[in-house]
Amino acid sequence: MKTQMTDMLDIEIPLAAFSHCRDVVAAVTNAGGIGVLGATAFTPDQLELELRWLDEHTGGRPYGVDLLAPAKLSFTDETPEQLLAMVPAQHIAFMQDMLHKYGVLDSADDYTLNPSTPSVAPDQVSAALEVAFKHPIKLIANALGVPPQEMIDLGKKNGVPVAALVGKVRHAEKQQERGVDLIVAQGYEAGGHTGEIATMVLTPEVVDAVSPTPVLAAGGIATGRQFAAALALGAAGAWTGSVWLTTDEAETDPVVKQKFLDAGSSDTERSRARTGKPARQLITAYHEAWASSNNPDPLPMPLQGVLVNQAWGRIAAASTKGVPGAAELDSYFVGQVVGLMRQAQPAREVVRNFMDGLVEAYSGLQEQLEG
């Protein structure tokens, strides 16, 4: 295939796979698309190990790195200690009770907070960028807002395209002005942090607004038919996330993986209950508790993360150990396409299905056009 995306990234299939799991990234890259490693959770040293592994397992084929690096390099001016002090006692009591009630904690008093923010720590952004650009990356992406100038400058200097996710036309225009090379128009139905405009509407709007800058469609793309639709909307390719969470290679918590395979498209919601910003995730008892009118409202980012991040580590660990209450709470970010994710399969197979479905969709349309 040939699109602006395949030309820019030197790939065969205009398909990007966002994943936190290096095995998924390598499998998609080796199958002709581009795997993009979600690197937010790694320290620079861990990132170095991940990228070294990817270099050894991708044979020089293109892969990318995605960071969550805010333009001003921090979500907040507060120190970790100040953040801890800002979490209201009522919220802590609510989470303590929830974890106690569902058998995650033996005693409600064991509850602990975590002051780390859901981005690369401000003092580590430069170090993470330095590590990334030491490797032969073919794409660097930023998840939230305009990338820091340092990312754009390093991209230009090293000839590595810089991508950024947007949920509104205005944001896409701003990204283009700042020198971003590839815009990912991510719709409402996507897993993770997402805006309010659906992919079907957002993609052509953004394509028209930033032409000739290439645009990838993201959100709601898990099959070849949806891949075909993305290209028909004017996108240069598709950017996908959820569909990889149920692949054999994905390190998704096994309880959650099974929940995804069983879930329908109505089983997700955009909720502030996990990070403080609207992020689409599988609805469980956790979200129902937060949504109840008797309970407190989620805190803004980054305070909600400070409140619940540690708890999520405990919920996942207890759920994996078979604690029934923990399994009821257990969840993860996923898009509405979860309803189409019906069987665990190798990532390479998913890439093949995307291509087969794309070809089938186009030949079906061709037949219809010819009458």
Instruction: Answer yes or no whether residue 26 interacts with ligand FMN by CB under 6 A.
Output: no
**For ligand FMN, which residue has the nearest CB?**
241
What are 210's strand-pairing partners?
none
> Could you tell me the smallest distance in angstroms from the CB atom of residue 47 to ligand FMN?
13
Question: Prior bond to 62 cis, omega within 30?
Answer: no
Q: From the list 190, 207, 299, 326, which residue makes contact with ligand FMN (rule: CB under 6 A)?
A: 190
> Could you tell me the smallest distance in angstroms from the CB atom of residue 38 to ligand FMN?
4
Among the residue ranges 25-33, 103-111, 182-190, 341-349, the one whose residues contact ligand FMN (CB under 6 A): 182-190
Environment class of 262 (CB within 10 Å of its CB; exposed 0-12, middle 13-18, buried 19+): exposed
> Could you tell me the smallest distance in angstroms from the CB atom of residue 103 to ligand FMN?
25
Q: From the list 32, 38, 115, 195, which residue makes contact with ligand FMN (rule: CB under 6 A)?
A: 38
Report helix, strand or coil for 107.
coil
Contact 290, 304 (CB under 8 A): no
CA-to-CA separations, 318 to 110, 114, 327, in angstroms, rounded: 14, 18, 8
Phi, psi of 280, rounded to the nearest 5 degrees: -80, 135
> Could you tell me the smallest distance in angstroms from the CB atom of residue 144 to ligand FMN?
7
Decide whether 16 or 98 has the Cβ nearer to ligand FMN. 16
Q: From the list 240, 247, 304, 309, which residue makes contact with ligand FMN (rule: CB under 6 A)?
A: 240
What are 18's strand-pairing partners?
36
- What is the Cα–Cα distance from 136 to 323, expressed in whole angstroms? 43
Instruction: Answer yes or no whether residue 353 interacts with ligand FMN by CB under 6 A.
Output: no
Decide whether 221 or 327 has the Cβ nearer to ligand FMN. 221
Report helix, strand or coil for 355.
helix
> Could you tell me the smallest distance in angstroms from the CB atom of residue 368 to ligand FMN?
27
Instruction: Answer yes or no whether residue 66 interacts with ligand FMN by CB under 6 A.
Output: yes
Question: Prior bond to 212 cis, omega within 30?
Answer: yes
# residues near ligand FMN by CB under 6 A: 27
Q: What's the token pair of residue 309?
A: 């991040």
Q: What angle do CA 154, 160, 163 make, to 5 degrees?
A: 90
Q: From the list 3, 4, 30, 40, which residue makes contact with ligand FMN (rule: CB under 6 A)?
A: 40
Q: From the list 239, 260, 286, 354, which residue makes contact with ligand FMN (rule: CB under 6 A)?
A: 239
Instruction: Answer yes or no whether residue 165 interacts with ligand FMN by CB under 6 A.
Output: yes
> Could you tell me the smallest distance in angstroms from the CB atom of residue 16 to ligand FMN?
8
> Could you tell me the smallest distance in angstroms from the CB atom of residue 238 to ligand FMN?
8
For residue 352, which of 229, 219, 224, 217 has the smallest C-alpha distance? 224
DSSP-assigned letters across all residues of 267-326:
SEEEESTTTSS-EEEE--HHHHHHHSTTSPPPPPTTHHHHHHHHHHHHHHHHHHTT-HHH
Instruction: Answer yes or no whether residue 47 interacts with ligand FMN by CB under 6 A.
Output: no
| Subset of 196-235 contacting ligand FMN (CB under 6 A) | 218-221
Q: Name the residues that contact ligand FMN, by CB under 6 A.
A: 18, 38, 40, 66, 68, 141, 143, 165, 186, 189-192, 218-221, 239-243, 332-335, 337
